[in-house]
Structure 1
Amino acid sequence: MTIDSWPKFSFHTTAEEVADTFASILRGKNVFITGTSLNGVGYEAARAIAKYAGLVIITGYNEERLKRSFDEIKKSVPTANIRCLILDLLSQNSVRKAAAQVSADLDHLHVLIHNAATTNFGAPSKIHGYSLHPGVIYTNVFMRMKETNSFPPELSSIGLIKGAATTVVAAFDPRLDSTPGAYLDDCQVAMDEVAPHTSDAGKAAQFPGPKHAPPPPAFTKPDQYLLVLCFSYYRLLLFTMSTLATSSLFNVQGKTVLVTGGGSGIGKMIAAGFVKNGATVYIAARKEKQLQEAVADLQQLGGGKVDYIVANVGSKAGCDALIAEFKRREAKLHVLVNNSGITWGAPFNDFPEEKGWDNVFAVNVKSIFYMTAGLTDYLTKGATANDPGRVINISSTDSVVPHSENLLSENGNGTWSYQPSKAAVNHLTTQLAVKLGPSQVTVNAILPGYFPSKMTAYGLKTAGKEILATGQPTGRLGQTEDMAGVALFLASPAAVHVTGAQIIVDGGGRFTRQDIAAQVKL
């Protein structure tokens, strides 16, 4: 596995997502984790890895807390094979004793996770990390004590004897012939991001460094996988050497996405893009049969996961019900796509109030506000400036085109409320962008032109796809890839600094088009 082929995780990939990605490597392996106190970084890693590993040895110096971690992991993963081992990394005798016990019990230790830390010591202002090395690690080599100069120079002040803020950044000394030889001193983030539990006094203190520390582990093969991760308060930061690669810039793998109106049309197109690229997607709409059919179609794409929630966002109560059901199923949300929309067509002098105006604004505008407000706590959970929550509102080029009736409008009918509702979506998008920006959430709008959907069905049937396509500068209507691509961009690392934007996706049709107006509700 080369550096270029490393999986690309976001700044807030969870331990579970990393374990799931490396399931084939972890399955059946013996794993040793230091510092696994309940609710800590080591505990989160152990709980995630326990789903796949053959054996997970959790360690700590406090027997009571270690037992609590054991009980909670078993409760979370009943099938897990877990062992507890008392290990005080401030004591060389304790390290030697633990080494002897592990060596006696196991032929091999496959995965070694250096995690243990202490807040009793300060830390130098450079990253301390977490190493996951799915190569065979000889336990007698791991536990043998050598002088500190066995480590590369940049690691001389940290080690397993006196840890600080999530040790050790596992750079393996190239002087040892059997190791990959990777120096990772470029992997740096602010100390308060990596270890917010470390006190200010601790951060400022001078870290003395141990007199002795275990040497870098030796491996049976020089080409074993090397994955270096750094925790940010129960989360993982993946260091990669190719952040400008498209696989990294546009990565949405592991994201959780909710798409309203996702059973058909543009919503289904967007959902398809996320599912294909490894996201967990929920689609919501009023009609369960339509949702079931959409899920069946989307599941064939592979990559991610998809499920549905029956909901009607035409009222605040309906939005609240959808939000409650989503929160019952998930603990986080990375991307909210407000796509639900309706229209109504009727004559200018006989345009109905409730069906024509009230219902259209309730679904097209109010639902965006209520869904976003109700899920802000989930969107901001774990969000950072470099990995914000995302809101994507689906507007329309009708918001910038004033024609509500034309030759395609039978008997002079017009969609008089639809255009103003979509103009309101544009303005609401900028309002929400300003409001939620400081909370690390971006809000953007996509303005589609002619795409095959229920909304455009009347015009496509009346005028024909060919005629509408020839009226486009690009000579065609919108396709799934066009819509999915923009949505993926807005949800990816490439769009971290994009908010309040209104992106038109119409093939230039707004310059030449005539609007489609329906005779009845679409």
Structure 2
Amino acid sequence: MSTSFGFTSTAEEIATAFADEIRGKNVLITGTSLNGLGFETARVIAKYAALVIITGYNTERLKLAEAALKQEIPSANIRPLILNLASLANVRAAAAEVNAYPESIDVLINNAASSICAFKLTQDGFEQQLATDHLGPFLFTALVLPKVLAAQSATHTPRVVYVASGSHAWCDGVDLAVLERPDAATYKAMTAYAQAKSANILTASELARRAAGRIHAYSLRPGAIATNFTENPEAREELLAAGIITEDGKPNLKANLPWKTLPQGASTIIVAAFDPSLNDKNGCYLTDCAEDNKSVAPHTADPVMAEKLWALSERLVDVKFL
């Protein structure tokens, strides 16, 4: 069915097409601030899903997102969850809250990401981007996995989706030594972002392998989109230097990037979360609403590296996962 979708498809179109798959499902989406991919994803599925759990680390922004969703879709069942992926203690607290819910989780969408930023350490001593984009989601997914596995039935396999990026190819792979021992002297903000997104893809493929059919896991490239991510003051300097945005913070249309609208950007997330034609493509990477494993950089398609990253991540966040 997804073959009829592509670059210009919107999340709304795809949610409408897969309404029967979304209906009755409980979906948890991380990072759902207004004007972001997570919010748009929540917005288009809220009219069908049984429950949409939205997350954020900022209470006020989370309230704004919840209010906007309820105003547009009064019938929607929206549940906010405070989740700061840069804090392992907060991740554990949020996961405990999820595990106390009466519902299982049919789809977990790991969407939240740090802004591209100058070198900084989290309270746990990890580099901000790799912590927020990889280690935090790794721990969170591990801890709520019982809720995800509980959604499995004879007719339904739960899904875990990682929103990665085509920029994973801008590095030579995840530097495991730097993940464990961050180094301010060698730090480059865009390289850290690329490494974090590489880690998302590696984690999705390894999760798919380890779950052995009990969970379907996918990663994806949403495309180049002007969101609150590109508007972040910290990220602006790096994006400007890379020629991705212009001085006024707008998309650089002269850059060799096919820009998408926010609804177009969220479309591949909906496909990854609900398209039944992906059932026999477990672990795959998607671009423009379709499987696109050929565009995964070699360093991110290495099963040995995926296993090493998994083992190190388990040790760093102190969790055993599948």
Q: TM-score range by the shorter chain?
A: 0.5 to 0.7
**TM-score for both structures, normalised by structure 1:** 0.43
Q: 1:425 maps to what in 2? A: 200
CA distance in 1, matches of 2:136, 2:149: 19
Shift in Å at residue 343 of structure 1?
3.7
AA at the equivalent of 1:448: P
Match of 1:298 among 62, 69, 91: 69
Unaligned runs of 5+ in 1: 1-245, 404-412, 512-522
CA distance in 2, matches of 1:483, 1:250: 22
Relative to structure 1, the CA distance from residue 352 to residue 416 in structure 2 (aligned partners, 3 Å threshold; closer, same or farther) is farther
Q: 2:32 maps to what in 1? A: 262
Q: 1:374 maps to what in 2? A: 143
Shift in Å at residue 433 of structure 1?
0.9
Shift in Å at residue 333 of structure 1?
0.7
User: Matches of residues 221-240 of structure 1 in structure 2 within 5 Å?
Assistant: none
Shift in Å at residue 279 of structure 1?
4.2
Aligned partner of residue 282 in structure 1, secondary structure: strand
Match of 2:53 among 269, 274, 282: 282
Shift in Å at residue 352 of structure 1?
5.1
Q: 2:284 maps to what in 1? A: 501
Shift in Å at residue 400 of structure 1?
1.6
Shift in Å at residue 292 of structure 1?
0.9
C-alpha deviations, 1:280-302, integer Å up to 9, x for none?
21111111110111111112332
C-alpha deviations, 1:137-180, integer Å up to 9, x for none?
xxxxxxxxxxxxxxxxxxxxxxxxxxxxxxxxxxxxxxxxxxxx
AA at the equivalent of 2:193: Y
Match of 2:165 among 396, 417, 437: 396
Relative to structure 1, the CA distance from residue 278 to residue 382 in structure 2 (aligned partners, 3 Å threshold; closer, same or farther) is closer
Unaligned runs of 5+ in 2: 1-15, 173-187, 240-244, 290-294, 296-322
Q: 2:272 maps to what in 1? A: 490
Shift in Å at residue 427 of structure 1?
0.7
C-alpha deviations, 1:366-420, integer Å up to 9, x for none?
12211221122111114146410110111112112349xxxxxxxxx74231111
CA distance in 1, matches of 2:97, 2:121: 31
Shift in Å at residue 326 of structure 1?
2.0
Shift in Å at residue 454 of structure 1?
2.6
AA at the equivalent of 1:323: A
Aligned partner of residue 221 in structure 2, secondary structure: strand
Q: CA RMSD for the aligned pairs? A: 3.0
Q: 1:462 maps to what in 2? A: 247
Shift in Å at residue 249 of structure 1?
7.8
Q: 1:452 maps to what in 2? A: 226
Contact 2:170 2:191 in 1 (8 A): no
Shift in Å at residue 423 of structure 1?
0.9
Q: 2:255 maps to what in 1? A: 471
CA distance in 2, matches of 1:249, 1:276: 9
Aligned partner of residue 156 in structure 2, secondary structure: coil
- Which structure has more relative contact order (CA 8 Å, sep 6+)? It is 2
**TM-score for both structures, normalised by structure 2:** 0.67
Shift in Å at residue 276 of structure 1?
3.5
Contact 2:222 2:269 in 1 (8 A): no
C-alpha deviations, 1:176-201, integer Å up to 9, x for none?
xxxxxxxxxxxxxxxxxxxxxxxxxx
Q: 1:99 maps to what in 2? A: none
CA distance in 1, matches of 2:195, 2:226: 22
Aligned partner of residue 368 in structure 1, secondary structure: helix
Pairs aligned (count): 246
CA distance in 2, matches of 1:462, 1:322: 38
Aligned partner of residue 471 in structure 1, secondary structure: coil
Relative to structure 1, the CA distance from residue 366 to residue 402 in structure 2 (aligned partners, 3 Å threshold; closer, same or farther) is closer
CA distance in 1, matches of 2:122, 2:142: 25
Aligned partner of residue 263 in structure 1, secondary structure: coil
AA at the equivalent of 1:454: N
Contact 1:398 1:419 in 2 (8 A): yes
Relative to structure 1, the CA distance from residue 274 to residue 483 in structure 2 (aligned partners, 3 Å threshold; closer, same or farther) is farther
Shift in Å at residue 445 of structure 1?
0.9
CA distance in 2, matches of 1:487, 1:299: 21
C-alpha deviations, 1:268-324, integer Å up to 9, x for none?
122112213334211111111101111111123326321211221223322221112
Relative to structure 1, the CA distance from residue 416 to residue 292 in structure 2 (aligned partners, 3 Å threshold; closer, same or farther) is same
CA distance in 2, matches of 1:375, 1:327: 6
User: Matches of residues 426-441 of structure 1 in structure 2 within 5 Å?
Assistant: 426-438=201-213, 440-441=214-215
Tell me which protein shows more helix as a share of its residues.
Answer: 2
CA distance in 1, matches of 2:256, 2:40: 21
CA distance in 1, matches of 2:256, 2:50: 33
Aligned partner of residue 329 in structure 1, secondary structure: coil
Match of 2:156 among 377, 387, 398: 387
User: Matches of residues 166-177 of structure 1 in structure 2 within 5 Å?
Assistant: none
CA distance in 2, matches of 1:374, 1:357: 19
Overall identity of the aligned pairs, in %? 22
AA at the equivalent of 1:415: M
Relative to structure 1, the CA distance from residue 248 to residue 414 in structure 2 (aligned partners, 3 Å threshold; closer, same or farther) is closer
C-alpha deviations, 1:73-130, integer Å up to 9, x for none?
xxxxxxxxxxxxxxxxxxxxxxxxxxxxxxxxxxxxxxxxxxxxxxxxxxxxxxxxxx
Contact 2:221 2:268 in 1 (8 A): no
Structure having the higher Rg: 1
Relative to structure 1, the CA distance from residue 380 to residue 443 in structure 2 (aligned partners, 3 Å threshold; closer, same or farther) is same
1:273 aligns with 2:273: no
Shift in Å at residue 500 of structure 1?
0.9
CA distance in 2, matches of 1:395, 1:485: 14
